[in-house]
Amino acid sequence: MSDQRSPWPATISRLVGAVLVFAAVGWLLGQVTLAILLGTLGYLGWNLYNQALLERWLRDGRSLEPPTSHGLWGEIFNGIHRLQQRQRMRRKRLTRILQGVRLTINAMPDGAVILRGHGEIQWWNAAARGLLGLTWPQDEGQRIANLLRHPEFSEFIREKRDSASSITLPSPVDEDVMLEIRVIPYGLNQRLMLVRDITRLYQLERMRRDFVANVSHELRTPLTVITGLAETLGDTVPQQLPQATRPLALISQQTQRMQRLVEDLLMLSRLEMEQKPLEPKVVDVPRMLGVLVEEARALGAEERQTVTLDVDRDWCALGDESELRSAFSNLVFNAVKYTPADGRIDIRWKARDGAVRFEVCDTGVGIPAHHLPRLTERFYRVDGGRSARTGGTGLGLAIVKHVLGRHGVELEVRSEVGKGSTFACTFPPAKVVDCAATDRLSQA
């Protein structure tokens, strides 16, 4: 509530007083009407004069002090002046806050770039200047995709993905500097692009990958030699030394396991190091699954498992044949490994609404729900003992996840302990083709 008193009672009393004075003078002079008319004209003139003062003051805009006047007009001038001062204070406070925010963002070691609707650069901080080489004022208003020329980045910025996803790119200023870029939408059609220098992390990660790949590669030859020797000894020694049969069988079994491990590690390293995006080719998945099912039946024959196959023969996938074979075989052989005797394994490749779904359902041991989120981590095992008995490397699902990820497909797992598991993925319409049509094309 305003503590100012209302000027109206005083104004009205003054007005009534003036009318009375003019009326009295007019009565004394015998010209009441003329006197009141003159008084009204005077009052109008005074109002006009004050309006002119107000208009000039507002138009001029430079003078901070209001024009001097009395009565109601004085109050109006002072009121407007008070409003202006309040507005000025608020603007100053906002400017101070804005400067503080800018100083804070400028002090950040990470780059921050504010983008408008179509990716036009609006503002950037000091770190972004260094990491992206932005220059003022030339780059203001430019589209960020024109400055960071990278096909993956153009797609990333166009797709408007969620803020959790990021992209890793070399800096346009220095190819050896690796940047992690994240884009966060905010406000009305604005986006904040955060840029982080992850060169050290990237190098460490590359060292780790190189190390694993090199060690696996180096182990390959000695392992092949040991396996060969164990087989030769296994064929000859037991006849002279029967007690060596079991140790030799164990050596052979373990070296074979190590060989599988090395092969899986090499496959994972290759998938991780693959920088180039996939060059998709037509993969005849129905035929591939036919072969896989025969292998699975042979593997599960002892356990009397039933393996069924239900495929839509018309549909082929677009991708890399050997990678997909590796992923699908890991899922099928896992089902065989983790399904007890007399169990059932159903393999499907079925089209629905233009997409095609691959599914491996088993009536096996199942997986407790709390293990599911970590299942595709390397060497993660639900039951270490069982996995070791079945000869698993603990890398199968990690390979599956990588391969499917490279094909833009996500692995889904549903499982219930004691009832069985379903491992599935859906190839979207863009990743499948009509096998018959491609056959006709290749024959033409």
Interaction site with ligand ADP (CB under 6 A): 330, 334-335, 338, 362, 364-365, 367, 375, 380-383, 387, 392-398, 421
Q: How far is the CB of 405 from ligand ADP (least distance, A)?
A: 15
**Residue number with CB closer to ligand ADP (179 or 267):** 267
- Angle made by CA atoms 79, 81, 83, in degrees to the nearest 5: 70
Q: How far is the CB of 386 from ligand ADP (least distance, A)?
A: 7
Beta bridge pairs of residue 144: none
Q: How far is the CB of 119 from ligand ADP (least distance, A)?
A: 40
- Of the CA atoms within 13 Å of residue 172, those in its CB half-sphere come to 16
**Residue number with CB closer to ligand ADP (111 or 364):** 364
Whether the bond into 137 is cis, omega within 30 of 0? yes
Strand order in the sheet with 281-283: 281-283, 315-319, 432-434
Q: How far is the CB of 438 from ligand ADP (least distance, A)?
A: 32
**Residue number with CB closer to ligand ADP (179 or 335):** 335
**Residue number with CB closer to ligand ADP (159 or 310):** 310
Q: How far is the CB of 395 from ligand ADP (least distance, A)?
A: 6
**SS3 state of residue 3:** coil
**Residue number with CB closer to ligand ADP (77 or 423):** 423
Q: How far is the CB of 166 from ligand ADP (least distance, A)?
A: 26
**Residue number with CB closer to ligand ADP (317 or 336):** 336
Q: How far is the CB of 163 from ligand ADP (least distance, A)?
A: 31
Taking phi over 0 as left and psi of -120 to 50 as alpha, with beta for the rest, 122 belongs to alpha
Lookup result for tokens 């052989």:
333
Q: How far is the CB of 319 from ligand ADP (least distance, A)?
A: 20
Q: How far is the CB of 133 from ligand ADP (least distance, A)?
A: 44
The closest of 260, 274, 269 to 213, measured between CA atoms, is: 269
**Residue number with CB closer to ligand ADP (171 or 326):** 326
**Residue number with CB closer to ligand ADP (128 or 399):** 399
Give the Cα separation of 402 and 387 in Å (integer). Answer: 21
| Lookup: tokens for 326 | 């590796």
- Per DSSP bridges, beta strands 306-311 and 344-352 are parallel
Cα 396 to Cα 8, 48, 321, 323, 327, distances in angstroms: 88, 91, 17, 12, 8
Q: How far is the CB of 423 from ligand ADP (least distance, A)?
A: 6
Q: How would DSSP label each residue in 12-73? A: HHHHHHHHHHHHHHHHHHT-HHHHHHHHHHHHHHHHHHHHHHHHHHHHH----SPPP--HHH
**Residue number with CB closer to ligand ADP (216 or 387):** 387
**Residue number with CB closer to ligand ADP (125 or 376):** 376
123-153 burial, b for 16+ CB within 10 Å, e for fewer? ebbebbbbbbebeeeebeeebbbebbeeeeb
| Lookup: tokens for 131 | 């990491």
Residue 8: φ, ψ to 5°: -65, -45
